[in-house]
Each structure stands twice: as structure tokens, then as C-alpha cells.
């Protein structure tokens, strides 16, 4: 049985005070049977780490550099994230890929840096609407995963999480139907199995894209959906905790 995860991606939102309030509200209401992660903006990590002390809620970052140090202005390195108390790092979010030019090679290198630094990547994959409509969903997802296998080897996901996030469902209010999501999750698990059978059963595959308290339970009930990566609904503790409860088992 895979322990579900619900991870909140706070994106570029909030002040230090509002991030702390949100973190404390989430930490104050433990949800059993699900691993809960919050991913604030990098400069709020230290503050949020203090707010989460003595709680089961874990801390994640929204991205990490491929390099551990050096002349890379604006980047944040994995050892720095670890010092701030992070256990997880989102890598390859579609906003990083589409708005900041992170290609498959860059995402694979960042993934490798996270693993090298002893943290756990949450590796995002997903197709655009155009790619879905032209029947290329599976090949796009496969190519995104393949870049990681090429760099990190067949056991790349032995200590990693995958998030399937159809780009057309992120922040749009349009959710993939539970059947649409399950179809891709099953494909992803099968593709991982082709590289490493044992690992495929263990790897947790999250769904992301307009998950909210009203649709979470139906999505999480699917066999290969092991929780969610949550954007908008992660910014209100009540909604986020309700999504966490929907994943709990």
C-alpha cells in the first residue's frame, strides 16, 4: 500500500506573515494516513520550517538549481534547501518549463541534483491542450520521464515522486476526469515498470490540476492516483485540509 501524498504548491504567493499563518493552521490539524507537504516560496522556507516544528507536515521547495554552488545568479541550490529544512523539491513544473525555458535536459539535471543532495524530487510531467487534442499525451509524458531515466538510470524514481499535471488543467478550473487522469497514471506506472518493475509499484504518482475539495475524493479513489499536487486550493487551510482528508486512508 502506497502512503498518499498531498503537496501544496504555494507558487509566488503570500507574505512571510501569511505564509506562517497558513503553515500553522495546517500544522494544527493533523491528518492521519497521508503525507502532507507544503511548498512555500524560497525566501519563506526558514520561517515556515519553524512554524512546522513538532508537526508531521513536511517542507518542500518549488525548484532547485542543477548545480550545488557557483556563479548561477538567482538560483537556489539543493544543499541550501536542505539547510532550510526541505525534504522535497518540485522539479519540472509546467510553469518552469513554459515560462522560464526549463527544457527536458535542465529538468533532468535539476532532478539529479535533488537526488544527489538527499532530498526527494516531485517530478512534474504533463501535456498541453494542443498535445492532448493531437493524441500525443502519452508520448509527451514518456519523453519527459525518459530524460530523467537517460541521466539518472533505470532506478531514477526509486526515491522520487511523480506528479501528472495536464497543463490545460493547471489553474484553469478544468480538471481531468478521474478516468482521464487514471489512464495517464496507469501509463506512467507501466512506463516506470519497463525500466524497473519493483520501483513501479512503489512510486507515488500524484495528480495535479484544479484539484479542490469537491473533486479530490473521486480522483484519489483511482487505483494509480496516490494523492495530489495542489495549487489554488492549497492557499486556504480549510480547502487544503479537506483535500488532505480526501486522500487519507
Residues belonging to the chain: 249
DSSP state string for 27-54? HTS--TTSEEEEE--GGGHHHHHHHHTT
The helix or strand, by DSSP H or E, that contains position 58, with its residue range, turns out to be strand 58-61
Q: How far is the CB of 232 from ligand PEP (least distance, A)?
A: 3
Q: Closer CB to ligand PEP, residue 79 or residue 213?
A: 213
Does residue 7 interact with ligand PEP by CB under 6 A? Answer: no
Q: Is 87 a catalytic residue?
A: no
Residue 14 makes contact with ligand PEP by CB under 6 A: no
Q: Which three cell numbers stand for residue 198?
A: 519493483
Is 83 one of the annotated active-site residues of the chain?
Answer: no
Contact by Cβ (8 Å): 225, 219 = yes
**123-140 CB burial, b ≥16 within 10 A, e <16:** bbbbbbeebbeeeebbeb
> Residue 89 has what DSSP assignment?
E
In three-state secondary structure terms, 178 is: helix
Based on CB atoms, which residue is closest to ligand PEP, 225 or 230? Answer: 230
Catalytic residue among 44, 93, 95, 185: 93
Q: Is there binding between residue 215 and ligand PEP (CB under 6 A)?
A: no
How many residues at the interface with ligand PEP, by CB under 6 A?
13
4 binding ligand PEP? (CB under 6 A): no
| Least distance from ligand PEP to the Cβ atom of residue 7, Å | 9
What span, in angstroms and rounded, lies between the C-alpha atoms of 238 and 177? Answer: 23
Of 167 and 196, nearer to ligand PEP (C-beta) is 167
CB 188 within 8 A of CB 148: no
* Nearer to ligand PEP among residue 199 and residue 230 (C-beta): 230
CB of 9 to ligand PEP, least distance (A): 4
For residue 173, give the 3-state DSSP assignment. Answer: coil
Residue 40 lies near ligand PEP (rule: CB under 6 A) = no
Binding to ligand PEP in span 122-181, by CB under 6 A? 165, 170-171
Q: Which listed residue (14, 60, 208, 227) binds ligand PEP by CB under 6 A?
A: 208
DSSP string for residues in 142-165: HHHHHHHHHHH-TTGGGG-EEEE-
Rule CB under 6 A: say whether 229 interacts with ligand PEP.
yes
Applying CB under 6 A, which of residues 20, 210, 215, 237 lies at the interface with ligand PEP?
A: 210
Give the H or E element holding residue 217. Answer: helix 216-220
Catalytically active residues are: 93, 165
Name the site residues for ligand PEP (rule: CB under 6 A). Answer: 9, 165, 170-171, 208-211, 229-233
Amino acid at each position: 500500500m502506497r502512503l498518499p501524498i498531498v503537496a501544496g504548491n504555494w507558487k509566488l504567493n503570500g507574505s512571510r506573515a501569511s505564509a506562517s499563518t497558513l503553515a500553522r493552521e495546517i500544522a494544527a490539524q493533523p491528518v492521519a494516513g497521508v503525507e502532507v507537504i507544503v511548498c512555500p516560496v524560497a525566501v519563506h522556507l526558514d520561517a515556515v520550517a519553524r512554524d512546522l516544528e513538532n508537526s508531521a507536515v513536511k517542507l518542500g521547495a518549488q525548484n532547485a538549481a542543477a548545480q550545488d554552488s557557483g556563479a548561477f545568479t538567482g538560483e537556489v541550490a539543493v544543499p541550501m534547501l536542505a539547510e532550510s529544512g526541505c525534504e522535497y523539491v518540485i522539479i519540472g513544473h509546467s510553469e518552469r518549463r513554459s515560462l522560464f525555458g526549463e527544457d527536458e535536459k535542465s529538468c533532468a539535471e535539476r532532478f539529479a541534483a535533488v537526488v544527489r543532495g538527499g532530498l526527494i524530487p516531485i517530478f512534474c510531467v504533463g501535456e498541453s491542450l494542443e498535445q492532448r487534442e493531437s493524441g500525443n499525451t502519452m508520448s509527451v509524458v514518456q519523453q519527459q520521464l525518459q530524460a530523467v531515466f537517460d541521466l539518472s538510470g533505470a532506478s531514477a524514481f526509486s526515491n522520487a515522486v511523480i506528479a501528472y499535471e495536464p497543463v490545460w488543467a493547471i489553474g484553469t478550473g478544468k480538471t481531468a476526469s478521474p478516468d482521464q487522469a487514471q489512464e495517464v497514471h496507469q501509463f506512467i506506472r507501466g512506463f516506470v515498470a519497463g525500466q524497473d518493475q519493483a520501483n513501479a509499484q512503489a512510486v507515488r504518482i500524484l495528480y495535479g490540476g484544479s484539484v479542490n475539495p469537491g473533486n479530490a475524493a473521486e480522483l484519489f479513489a483511482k487505483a494509480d492516483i496516490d494523492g495530489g499536487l495542489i495549487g489554488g486550493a492549497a492557499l486556504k487551510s480549510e480547502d487544503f485540509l479537506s483535500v488532505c482528508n480526501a486522500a487519507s486512508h
